[in-house]
Amino acid sequence: MILVDSGSIGTFVSTILVQKLNLPTSDCSSSSYKSASGGTMLCNSVVSQLSWLVQGHTFVSDAKVLDLHCYDMIVGEDWLEACSPMWIHWTKKHMRFTYKG
pLDDT number for residue 23: 96
Distance CA 50, CA 62 (A): 6
Hey, what domains does the chain have and what are their CATH numbers? 2-54+61-97 (2.40.70.10)
Q: pLDDT band at residue 22, thresholds of 50, 70 and 90?
A: very high
Nearest to 47 by CA among 34, 68, 36: 68
Q: Enter the pTM of the model.
A: 0.88
User: What are the residues whose beta carbons fall under 8 Å from the beta carbon of 7, sequence distance 6 or more?
Assistant: 76
Percent over 90 (pLDDT), the chain: 68
Q: pLDDT tens digits for 29-46?
A: 988 888 877 888 889 999
pLDDT single digits (tens) 40-87:
888 999 999 999 999 888 999 999 999 998 899 999 999 999 999 999
> Can you tell me whether residue 45 is helix, strand or coil?
strand
